[in-house]
Structure 1
């Protein structure tokens, strides 16, 4: 493996964790390459994908996309390739399309490498563009095989100038050498990279690709539905036994009344044997386990597994969207919890958030595994819950996170209630004044 060189291109890789980025400051700091997360599995699109792309492009930065790989099956590898490309259709990357391989899914290294290879072959076939594999040094040593040596490497190893030996690759075109760097324009820590010029493409637009899944064909966990002329979100929700709110939140839809033909929606399908109901959703955070999540929300691991059709309870991923079933009577210790999540906004402090949500800084630190209470980031998703020692008229059956351009009357209409009721339930003094990221109780 070669060492970092002065003629390498300086880069960062980002996702929703970095929130809103000032790419003018990033450019002025000397950064030349920006990789932004596009997708994960066949169910998650990073909400900052398009904004990161256009804002970085406006500063003449080289832009690349990466897909977080969820190893499941050969069919899933192909579907993930279609999903990845469908979400970046029409965009013009400057850098090789990257596959992030860092979880095994319980597969052997031979099986995992074959599944990754299927994905990469499909991406190249769909786009005609070159690809690159991102992985960690230790992961490459123990979990991958040389079936992947035909692809260039973007390697991650921290605190060194030269990555360690691995038996598959003897050189890299990308090297992530820090996961906690500082770059002006980025809130908090960010991954730092260097790249050789081989990371660059002869730029051309991604072709318009539709996901390789029939509208009515379930994948076992979710389906991809292509919006047809005349469709409404409420009709689609009714057809698939879900809610407008859940479809809007899980597909990053800002205006539930505005969908368009050809748009691809991820729809989560309940297991045919499950009768579980859910009243909220939760986005998995780094370090989460299913048992911890179940405990926080006053439910059971089995209930979450059933309602989400999870095949392996020990395998969940950051960014995965989970439906949270209603608290069961067996969870008496947590049955009075008021449950929600909060998306950190620019200028927020933990003390303000704690005060607003009637909890304490120490409690938020504990349940969110926060190392430094003075360091939170715009876009960060915090778990919130408090004991139910509140007046009875504060009881509620779910939560809703306000999105840009939402109005209280529109939200009330979505949930079959009135804006006056929501205002009273949430102690809102001015019904015309709500803000993105605000968590509303819904009854």
Structure 2
């Protein structure tokens, strides 16, 4: 009997060791979210900006008329568009897609809800250049709400290209490879819709990850992200911004933006 108990204890020790080894192996294979990173699909416009710049402040007065806008994503759920309209919001962007693996479950309420109350609306795509090609993601975006129509109420799609919330800031790409990826997306989007996409980015990320490339400025409107009293230095090539995301802590939805011009200029962009 003592021999039997000793053998049983040894088996138990081996079993416990095996369980611990299996658990350790499992930890090594868990997705990034389990290691403290967000789950794929949860990224949204300005996520990296918030981490780098903080929640933002109040824009300084300007002599140029500015038109208030907002950007929304799935994490905000159903949006209270009447309240935003009454506060002066006249344009909005809704996240449609991310990579080729995610579409916003609240897209219909957010995209059509803004349109229904008179807000000029558009859709944006959160880019993940480390998962698939720019062309593939542009096609996915257009096929899942990112298209454009000549109705006077639809803005061209936006490429949201910023810090990688799931890993390396530049998605493991060199500056030249990143520029190539962005060009692939933009060329495909224009071929599909007839419109040049807007580029949303932050100057510091653009400088780090594209080498401050200036070749897109001639055709693609700039949506600059900077949570401060002014938009600061712009990326190379752009002499002015078209839109500016100035805070992530504004009323009702958090992310608020300014269009660099009056409502007639917003309408002009929608009309192409």
Q: What band does the TM-score fall into relative to the shorter chain?
A: 0.5 to 0.7
Given the alignment of the two structures, is residue 8 of structure 1 paired with residue 74 of structure 2, yes or no? no
2:44 equivalent in structure 1: none
Q: Equivalences for 1:328-367 in 2 at 5 Å?
A: none
Distance 1:40 1:54, change over 3 A: same
Q: 2:133 aligns with which of 69, 72, 76?
A: 76
Q: Cα offset for 1:130? A: 2.7
Q: Cα offset for 1:12? A: 0.5
Aligned to 1:38, the other structure's residue is in SS state: strand
1:126 equivalent in structure 2: 192
Aligned to 2:136, the other structure's residue is in SS state: helix
1:87 equivalent in structure 2: 144
Per-residue CA distance 1:303-334 (angstroms, 9 max, x = gap): xxxxxxxxxxxxxxxxxxxxxxxxxxxxxxxx
Q: Equivalences for 1:168-317 in 2 at 5 Å?
A: 168-183=237-252, 186=253, 190-196=254-260, 197=265, 200-202=269-271
> What's the TM-score once normalised by structure 1's chain length?
0.42
Q: Cα offset for 1:90? A: 7.3
Q: Cα offset for 1:166? A: 3.2
Given the alignment of the two structures, is residue 61 of structure 1 paired with residue 119 of structure 2, yes or no? yes
Per-residue CA distance 1:232-284 (angstroms, 9 max, x = gap): xxxxxxxxxxxxxxxxxxxxxxxxxxxxxxxxxxxxxxxxxxxxxxxxxxxxx
Distance 2:137 2:183 in 1: 12
More helix by share: 2
Distance 2:259 2:228 in 1: 17
2:23 equivalent in structure 1: none
Q: Cα offset for 1:5? A: 4.9
Listed as ranges, the gaps of 5+ residues in structure 2 are 1-59, 165-169
Distance 1:202 1:27 in 2: 21
The answer to which structure, 1 or 2, has the higher relative contact order (CA under 8 A, 6+ apart) is 2
Aligned length: 196
Aligned to 1:119, the other structure's residue is in SS state: helix
Distance 1:23 1:62 in 2: 12
Distance 1:138 1:5, change over 3 A: farther
Q: 1:163 aligns with which of 211, 214, 232?
A: 232
> What's the TM-score once normalised by structure 2's chain length?
0.66
Q: 2:215 aligns with which of 124, 130, 147?
A: 147
Distance 1:193 1:90, change over 3 A: closer
Is the Cα–Cα contact under 8 Å of residues 10 and 32 in structure 1 kept in the other structure? yes
More strand by share: 1
2:50 equivalent in structure 1: none
Given the alignment of the two structures, is residue 115 of structure 1 paired with residue 181 of structure 2, yes or no? yes
Distance 1:164 1:90 in 2: 31
Is the Cα–Cα contact under 8 Å of residues 234 and 241 in structure 2 kept in the other structure? no
Listed as ranges, the gaps of 5+ residues in structure 1 are 204-443
Given the alignment of the two structures, is residue 99 of structure 1 paired with residue 159 of structure 2, yes or no? yes
Given the alignment of the two structures, is residue 137 of structure 1 paired with residue 203 of structure 2, yes or no? yes
Aligned to 2:248, the other structure's residue is in SS state: strand
Distance 1:89 1:168 in 2: 26
Which structure 1 residue ranges, 4+ long, deviate > 3 Å from structure 2? 2-6, 89-93
Distance 1:138 1:91, change over 3 A: closer
Distance 2:139 2:83 in 1: 34
Aligned to 2:184, the other structure's residue is in SS state: helix
Aligned to 2:270, the other structure's residue is in SS state: coil
Q: Cα offset for 1:32? A: 0.6
Distance 1:5 1:34, change over 3 A: farther
Is the Cα–Cα contact under 8 Å of residues 148 and 157 in structure 2 kept in the other structure? no
Distance 2:185 2:61 in 1: 29
Q: Equivalences for 1:320-331 in 2 at 5 Å?
A: none
Is the Cα–Cα contact under 8 Å of residues 94 and 110 in structure 2 kept in the other structure? yes
